[in-house]
Structure 1
């Protein structure tokens, strides 16, 4: 794969963005991918002394030499007023497009995009190249912190426009996902940061380093940029703790003011590599006071070093620090609570040792190799989504949006009714079912919803779906029967049979379906609306435009009626032929599992994604071989039924006309709906 990375900051200025880009470059190179870096050129990039502690290899890369085999295009930049280490590039989109066109990337990676990133996404759009935006800097909070309240709304609008324009946006934490969703950003995915657990490790602890830093005192340390948004001045409440020394590692525009405010603290300046690793491992307690962190990479490095962490209980740290296990989260802005948490650890060596062991254990699965492997998966998703987006934009449609499960919360539904056709009936999902009976994604979802409750009451579940049914059957038959059951959750997955018919009009069909959704919502029920989808086969392409238009209309319906949308056009995996049964029109068990767990995810079932992966690993079934050639086994019987004006659903009843109890304390039993 050919990956172009646009970074708002780069060497020689080391920060979280630069560090992440370097790790991504390294692991992409190790995997055989080709990379290009487009970034600001510093005026001192050719000065060998400008590395500020970085290795010779990285200094060489800053002056234009290859970095992990990456090509570089370093553009003229100007320093940010008041913070000259940060450079801003004002490059025209046309120039960036020319650079990208020469490189021919498969995907454009936008590292913490803002100014350069906006031009980059415009250039990528001109070339119709997918873009993956990495949300890493909370520029809205920075605008407030730097005394620019009138600019805050402009920054929010720009951030939202940029990330809505990107093909995918990856955010590192629950807090950042929530923040972006509140700004109206769609197509969000979670992607955390890796940590170098070989470099940052407990065995780096060096008593000589400790003696130089604090003599025989305990070391209470901070690592990071010294700038207003980091709130390092809050550490002043720790400077008078008996038997302890505050050590501050880093540099930035606030350093002089901080040295005046905390004269007893030790300021080491910028450290990197093994010097940083030995210093960090020498800490007894790591403190991170910043409230504007989207992630908190130095927190993760402290944990890897076996150092307990005390951090503010907001933003990225909430996902990293397990309070009372490997550190403490204190109340944001409450410096008394900060001091009390540090005193608790400083005065208890046994607790520090226990927290240290838990801290190191918490990062074992967070290697950069693993994270870059996940990133490649997001790149491939963006490649699948870009042509869909382009086709929709040409028709003024809305693009598919993958929801962010991390920002939703589960609702304790008690009565769930599934409406639809053969896919909701569960055809071809015979996993652990007697011959001739089917399980299906809705049955699986009902179990997940039942077990999500914590009171043991279970879930009452009805499935009124029947094969071959169409949108008109939804309104005339299924919705009235559903309303009689007084459900609090209804899933609606309908339209595929209409869309493959002669001269189907997807806009008209969506209007008909909307009336059913509005009726269900007016009854007080929540509605899960599912977009129909096609297998990734050449023969299915003739229906692609109809399905795309219909899905676009369903997005509008969901947004305007308050329905929860499971937008399967944003999940390209569902089109994989391995998800589909031998008849090529229904899902096999694997596909039904995928659909069920994605539905649970958008409905807020806790840990649905992890449960889905476990289910796939433990219950992957070997599907039976095809029973004869596809033409004779499946195609000809379908044609014969159509010629006779019949359907596969003629004479078929829904499998659960009334409620069955799922997940209760007893066996599943049929109950009366009244």
Structure 2
């Protein structure tokens, strides 16, 4: 099997994610599997040294930047297209996403581009970290991103029952339990060193902690242990909180970061191990302490609940109750016989948790992901999306009252003349406005305010320069953006650059508190359109990135390939006919959470056959030659035209409106 591992962090920064990745690489290599690692470069560290530790795995270490407040953690901002190129060369059978967040999100998109299944390892509770670091405004965005990422992965593995429950509450499906292995050869009671104990805390009972020194680990809680008789608190690790902790815990011994045999010796030399963090999805150092024959006192929430058997090999104290923490530690410090009994039970508990056993389970999960991938692909081709993985609507019943549509001829509604006066058009956005108005229910009396600022032939630059300022002046609570097709066909600009320009507009709207629906451009399924398909695909991928970064809702029409059916396209071959606009309107309504949108769409299609006026003249004379003539003169079809609804018109509701749209969708 060929396994590509995309790791959010890597050597030389040694943490739980890095340690797990190294163990997985070692056991996959020993079993004869081929592996590739895509991870952050160490910056000033020697990449050659890092690669030498990979046990034969290929490596692509990408340029990264350090987090300002935590320089040991490095972040990669790689585009999905670059990752897809690396994966395409390697040809993986499965893509393993180690604690995915930034790089991992791009990895999900890249794996989809090459048709590979993804297996996401939920290892870091970044939602809790955002809360611990005092970023309440970012917490909702982080929660949304985590949900979107894991719902998009083929399969998610969670390390504990608590983390499985957390993911289920976020709406993540396809979650399987997979813990962490422990190196029972390295972490063993035989590593206990009386000389180390005499050097660090002579004649004292050692209460120790091992881990990162950061706010989310709650190491400051150990201050309640400073006066437990006969004890010394020993803290192994490093991180951004070390300086503050040394001031608040002046009696404690700080060893700094230890690894390998030095770490194993220190851990086995503890008398009691304490783990106060309440946001742990697992708790690898707890396992290592148990394997070292050391009883554990840990908080009774999250990952530790699955690892510590309270009153057998340790104690679980009430979360947040520091008096209970102190009492549990004092109980073990004052009773040597109990410590010995707990220590013996601890060694027995970890015997079945070897990395060999865990990696055998991992291979089974790889196999499941490979079986699920073609099922998902078939569903997407049918326009149904991944089973149980459609994005959750923003609200259960939409309550937007001011909707503004931005874009070009598609949003203007060109060629959708169904039941409209001569020379006028409806379009998908008009139809969506009706659906939003009707979603308020039969008793709703307040109409929807709707404006359509789209003008044919407009490009991305026109959105930023003209339409977004106009929209902001209208103070809407929902804006739709479908733009980019004219740029992708008529210019050579890089799709990523176009998407960056769209992102600027989206951020302006989002900063004003406006919800944004992004729609990816699309092509008809005609031979002549294939020349542009790669550019459209790249742009769609970038739109996914923009939606993820800005919190915009996304109607990703790559998941609805039926939009390319020739039957949906007008006689001019470049615009949708009425049935195509209906299809697009109902897909948008589904994305926005309009109740029963799919059923309404089927009913609409059955009741309203297209009555578009018949075409007059040949396509060459009617459509192609006028377009060529405009291009030769440097003009567009939209020159001199203004938006058809530059100000609000009223849709639905009771009372009399100054302007009304056709009531039937």
Structures share fold, TM-score greater than 0.5:
yes
Aligned residue among 337, 343, 349 for 1:362: 349
Task: Return the alpha-carbon distance in structure 2 between the equivalents of residues 397 and 362 of structure 1.
Answer: 46
Aligned to 1:170: 157
Show the counterpart of 1:669: none
Q: Which has the larger radius of gyration?
A: 2
Closer/same/farther in 2, CA of residues 241 and 85 from structure 1, 3 Å limit: same
Could you say which residue in structure 1 is the equivalent of 2:38? 38
> Pick from 188, 193, 214: which aligns with 2:201?
214
User: Does the CA contact (< 8 Å) of 1:66 and 1:72 recur in 2?
Assistant: no
Please, what TM-score do these two structures have when normalized by structure 2?
A: 0.58
Distance in 1, matches of 2:224 and 2:8, equals 34
1:47-446 equivalences under 5 Å are 60-62=48-50, 64-65=51-52, 67-397=54-384, 399-400=386-387
- Where does structure 2 lack aligned partners over 5 or more consecutive residues? 390-594, 597-665
Give 1:401 shift: 5.8
Tell me the distance in 1 between the aligned counterparts of 2:269 and 2:318: 26
Q: Is the 8 A contact 2:300 2:318 kept in 1?
A: yes
Q: TM-score, normalised by structure 1?
A: 0.57
Q: How many Å separate the matches in 2 of 1:94 and 1:60?
A: 26
**TM-aligned CA deviation for residue 319 of structure 1:** 0.3
**Cα distance in 1, alignment partners of residues 387 and 253 from structure 2:** 52
- Tell whether the 8 Å contact from 1:281 to 1:306 is kept in structure 2 after alignment: yes
SS of 1:324's partner is coil
Structure 1 residue 400 displacement after superposition: 4.6
Q: Is the 8 Å Cα contact of residues 6 and 120 (structure 1) preserved in structure 2?
A: yes
How many angstroms apart in 2 are the aligned matches of 1:293 and 1:245? 25
Q: Secondary structure at the match of 2:39?
A: strand
How far 1:43 moved relative to its partner? 1.5
CA contact (8 A) 2:26 2:55 kept: yes
Distance across 2 between alignment mates of 1:346 and 1:66: 40
Alignment-derived partner of residue 542 in structure 1: none
The one-character-per-residue Cα deviations of 1:590-643 (angstroms, maximum 9, x if unpaired) are: xxxxxxxxxxxxxxxxxxxxxxxxxxxxxxxxxxxxxxxxxxxxxxxxxxxxxx
Task: Provide the secondary structure at the position in 1 that maps to 2:130.
Answer: helix
Q: Which runs of 4+ in 1 moved over 3 A?
A: 398-402
Aligned partners of 1:250 and 1:271 also within 8 Å: yes
Give the whole-Å Cα distance in 1 for the aligned partners of 2:249 and 2:88: 52
1:400 and 1:23 map into 2 onto residues whose CA distance is 32
Matched with 1:632 is: none
2:44 & 2:17 partners in 1: Cα distance? Answer: 19
Q: State how far apart, in whole Å, the 1-side matches of 2:102 and 2:319 are.
A: 30
Residues in 2 aligned to 1:87 and 1:179: alpha-carbon distance in whole angstroms: 26
- DSSP-derived class of the 1:110 partner: strand
1:398 to partner: Cα distance: 5.3
**1:14 equivalent in structure 2:** 14
Per-residue Cα deviation, 1:255-299 (whole angstroms, up to 9, x for no partner): 010001111100000001111111000000000000000000000
Q: Does 1:26 pair with 2:13?
A: no
Whole-angstrom distance in 2 between the partners of 1:18 and 1:358: 29
Contact 1:330 1:338 in 2 (8 A): yes
3-state SS of 2:316 partner: strand
Alpha-carbon deviation of 1:240?
Answer: 1.5
Distance 2:388 2:99 in 1: 21
Q: Give the conservation status (yes or no) of the 8 Å contact 1:164–1:186.
A: yes
In 2, the alpha carbon distance for the partners of 1:150 and 1:299 equals 32
Alignment of 1:400-549 (within 5 A): 400=387
Paired residues in the alignment total 391
Are the equivalent residues in 1 in contact too, given 2:379–2:387 (CA < 8 A)? no
1:305-344 deviation per Cα after TM superposition (whole angstroms, max 9, x unaligned): 0000000000000000000000000000100000000000
- Judge conservation of contact 2:147–2:171 (CA < 8 Å) in 1: yes
| Mapped contact 2:212–2:239 kept (Cα < 8 A) | yes
C-alpha distance in 2 between matches for 1:15 and 1:309: 20
Q: What secondary structure is seen at the aligned counterpart in 2 of 1:301?
A: helix
What is the rounded CA distance, in whole Å, between the counterparts of 2:249 and 2:137 in structure 1?
A: 32
Question: What is the CA distance between 1:399 and its match in structure 2?
Answer: 3.8
Task: State the alpha-carbon separation in 2 of the partners of residues 284 and 163 from structure 1.
Answer: 40
How large is the RMSD of aligned CA atoms in angstroms? 1.4
Distance 1:60 1:208 in 2: 36
- For residues 135 and 330 of structure 2, the distance between their equivalents in structure 1, rounded to whole angstroms, comes to 36
- The SS at the match of 1:28 is helix
Q: 2:171, 2:334 → 1: CA distance?
A: 46
- Report if aligned partners of 1:61, 1:67 keep a CA contact under 8 Å in 2: no
The DSSP-based 3-state class of the residue aligned with 1:73 is strand
Structure 1 residues 182 and 261, CA gap change in structure 2 (3 angstroms): same
